[in-house]
């Protein structure tokens, strides 16, 4: 079963571009690698599966582990809150809320630099360095004795963690086809649910250790040292791109690159392009997804910071509260992986996003309406667990945006802008809740309800805008003598040599010639936008 795309580089285009030295540098690294290889590689079903399996075995475990550590490091604060952190460090008023928000403020400030670094620096080594630095910062939290010390170490933690989500989106884009990206993004994001389960058990165990250190100090030191150790593993085994992958032998590296041609997104150019920056800032899609991430991150920031405190307000003690947070993580895993599976099956993100907004709306209404009494604890927990479906929304928004953005600089700047929106939402979220409003937290729940409804409106509007862009590209193709309607091969299974038809051949020729030219989604009329 052969891929409908021939393993070739648009040599005529490269020859023309090379007449201008500056322009030739703008061609994606994959184009130069394939040109230098000067070898035809047919992407069959067999070698495509073999290479994909190899990529999954090397790249995915690293991504999953890093995100698990980041989730554990960030949520360590919420676990510490039920083990006396607030009392021992004399936190008052909204000081605890600021400890939750300062991480995202630091990440927001760092995003412009992160977007630039991800284009210019080797992404594997850059990620390992950031991992090492935030592990050291978390260890430093164990030495903090007051609000000022905790704020300083939390800011550093956020600054070094700022690259994680943007780097992961970029890594998934440079290794996987568009049809494969949603499940991979969901896989690493689902580690948030794993950590809500494992972290709860870990904190439960660490909290019982008898030591001259406080329980929360033990939690900070354990998580920080674990992160420092794993940074060495990332430095040694995380490749910077498929071009540099030592674990791919023989022609497998060519296959890994060639199979991405149908994405129309390129892999990596290493060149920062200001024309891509301008287009990103003027592209309405950028700001629609930005608005979505602000909208979903406000509830996320509030619930992740105050979740254990909300559960304890139902009338449970500290250790029971930690244990009841385990099902919260399980629901997150189901919603994240289940949403990704359904989106991949439907080949559409928007209907699944709308569906995932419904359980949190129902859960919030339950917490607002059910009395906080001992006999209603089960119903209150059910409402809280329904709210925990919201983590499935964020990775789908990132995937939806990532699959509709092409051009190396534009992809990374776009992700950076989106992450600024996520950071802004996470900064606002904790401030909607206040320990003085326990146990009902009415203001925070009411605003979160409005936000989920608003998110549904934003999703519907984006669907209409994408439809308009597809019609615009179809008209452009037609004006250039191409077929107005083409099949998106990046979302299709490889076509058997026995089953391929003339239409597939034409689509392959059309959709392969600009794949590694570092053109944006709006510049390349062959780019197909996904719902």
HSE, side-chain direction, 13 A CA sphere, residue 295: 21
**pLDDT score recorded for residue 513:** 59
User: At 295, which CATH number?
Assistant: 1.20.1250.20
Query: Does 12 map to a domain?
Result: no
Query: Does 26 map to a domain?
Result: no
Q: Are 384 and 310 in contact (CB under 8 A)?
A: yes
Strand partners, 2: 44
**pLDDT score recorded for residue 514:** 63
Q: What CA–CA distance (Å, rounded) separates 69 from 130?
A: 12
DSSP annotation of 494 reads P
Sign of the alpha-carbon torsion through 476, 479, 480, 485: positive
Query: Does 11 map to a domain?
Result: no
CA 65 to each of CA 57, 217, 226: distance values in angstroms, whole numbers, following the listed order? 13, 23, 11
Q: What CA–CA distance (Å, rounded) separates 526 from 513?
A: 9
Query: Does 499 map to a domain?
Result: no
Residue whose C-alpha is closest to residue 141's, from 204, 64, 73? 73
Q: Are 266 and 408 in contact (CB under 8 A)?
A: yes
Q: Is the pLDDT of residue 496 over 60?
A: no
**pLDDT score recorded for residue 60:** 95
The average pLDDT across 36-61 equals 86
Sign of the alpha-carbon torsion through 471, 472, 473, 477: positive
Q: Is the pLDDT of residue 109 over 70?
A: yes
Query: Does 268 map to a domain?
Result: yes
DSSP annotation of 325 reads T
The average pLDDT across 428-449 equals 80
- What is the average pLDDT value for the chain, to the nearest integer? 83
HSE, side-chain direction, 13 A CA sphere, residue 77: 31
User: For residues 522 and 503, which has the higher predicted lDDT (pLDDT)?
Assistant: 522
Domain count for the chain: 1
**For helices 95-120 and 147-161, what crossing angle results, to 10°?**
30
Q: Are 34 and 516 in contact (CB under 8 A)?
A: yes
The average pLDDT across 3-7 equals 42
- Owner of token pair 């385990």: 326
Q: Are 258 and 48 in contact (CB under 8 A)?
A: no
Q: Is the pLDDT of residue 305 over 70?
A: no
pLDDT band at 239 (very low <50, low <70, confident <90, very high): very high
CA 169 to each of CA 100, 205, 297: distance values in angstroms, whole numbers, following the listed order? 24, 34, 17
**pLDDT score recorded for residue 359:** 95
Residues in the chain: 531
Q: Are 408 and 271 in contact (CB under 8 A)?
A: yes
HSE, side-chain direction, 13 A CA sphere, residue 19: 6
Query: Does 29 map to a domain?
Result: no
Residue whose C-alpha is closest to residue 404's, from 461, 457, 484, 348? 348
Q: Are 386 and 145 in contact (CB under 8 A)?
A: no
Model's pTM, two decimal places?
A: 0.81
Q: Are 526 and 470 in contact (CB under 8 A)?
A: no
Query: Does 110 map to a domain?
Result: yes
**pLDDT score recorded for residue 494:** 54
Task: State phi, psi for 44 to the nearest 5 degrees.
Answer: -85, 165
Strands (E), 11-132: none
Tens-place pLDDT, residues 120-139: 899 999 999 999 999 999 99
Domain range for residue 188?
Answer: 45-470
Query: Does 17 map to a domain?
Result: no
């Amino acid at each position: 079963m052969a891929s409908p795309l021939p393993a070739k580089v648009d040599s005529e285009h490269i020859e023309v571009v090379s007449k201008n030295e500056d322009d030739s540098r703008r061609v994606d690294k994959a184009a130069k690698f394939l040109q230098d290889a000067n070898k035809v590689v047919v992407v069959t079903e067999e070698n495509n599966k073999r290479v994909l399996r190899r990529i999954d075995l090397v790249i995915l475990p690293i991504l999953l582990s890093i995100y698990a550590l980041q989730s554990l490091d960030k949520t360590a604060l919420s676990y510490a809150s039920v083990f006396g952190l607030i009392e021992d460090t004399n936190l008052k008023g909204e000081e605890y809320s600021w400890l939750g928000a300062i991480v995202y403020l630091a990440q927001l400030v760092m995003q412009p630099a992160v977007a630039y670094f991800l284009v210019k620096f080797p992404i594997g080594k850059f990620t390992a360095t950031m991992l090492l630095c935030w592990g050291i910062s978390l260890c430093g939290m164990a030495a903090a004795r007051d609000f000022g010390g905790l704020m300083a170490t939390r800011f550093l933690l956020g600054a070094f963690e700022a690259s994680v989500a943007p780097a992961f989106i970029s890594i998934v884009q440079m290794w996987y086809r568009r049809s494969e990206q949603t499940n991979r993004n969901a896989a690493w994001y689902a580690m948030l649910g794993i950590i809500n389960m494992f972290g709860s058990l870990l904190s439960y165990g660490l909290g019982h250790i008898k030591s001259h250190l406080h329980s929360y100090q033990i939690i900070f030191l354990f998580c920080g040292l674990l992160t420092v150790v794993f940074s060495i593993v990332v430095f040694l085994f995380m490749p910077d791109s498929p071009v540099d992958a030592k674990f791919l032998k023989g022609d497998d590296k060519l296959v890994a690159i060639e199979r991405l041609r149908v994405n129309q997104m390129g892999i990596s150019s290493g060149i920062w392009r200001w024309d891509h920056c301008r287009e990103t800032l003027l592209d309405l899609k950028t700001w629609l997804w930005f608005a979505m991430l602000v909208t979903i991150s406000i509830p996320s920031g509030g619930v992740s910071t105050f979740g254990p405190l909300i559960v304890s307000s139902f009338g449970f003690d500290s250790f029971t509260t930690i244990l009841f947070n385990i099902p919260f993580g399980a629901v997150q895993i189901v919603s994240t992986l289940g949403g990704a599976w359904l989106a991949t099956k439907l080949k559409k993100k928007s209907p699944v996003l709308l569906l995932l907004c419904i359980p949190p709306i129902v859960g919030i209404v339950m917490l607002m309406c059910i009395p906080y009494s001992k006999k209603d604890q089960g119903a209150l927990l059910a409402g809280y667990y329904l709210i925990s479906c919201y983590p499935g929304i964020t990775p789908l928004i990132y995937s939806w945006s990532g699959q509709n953005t092409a051009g190396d600089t534009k992809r990374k700047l776009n992700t950076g802008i989106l992450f600024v929106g996520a950071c802004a939402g996470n900064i606002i979220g904790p401030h909607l809740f206040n320990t003085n409003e326990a146990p009902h937290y009415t203001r925070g729940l009411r605003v979160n309800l409005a936000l989920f409804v608003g998110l549904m409106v934003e999703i519907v509007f984006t669907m209409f805008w994408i439809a308009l862009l597809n019609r615009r590209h179809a008209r452009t193709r037609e004006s250039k003598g191409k077929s107005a309607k083409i099949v998106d091969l990046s979302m299709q299974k490889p076509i058997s040599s026995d089953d391929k038809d003339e239409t597939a051949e034409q689509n392959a020729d059309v959709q392969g010639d600009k794949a590694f030219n570092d053109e944006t989604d709006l510049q390349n009329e062959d780019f197909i936008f996904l719902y």
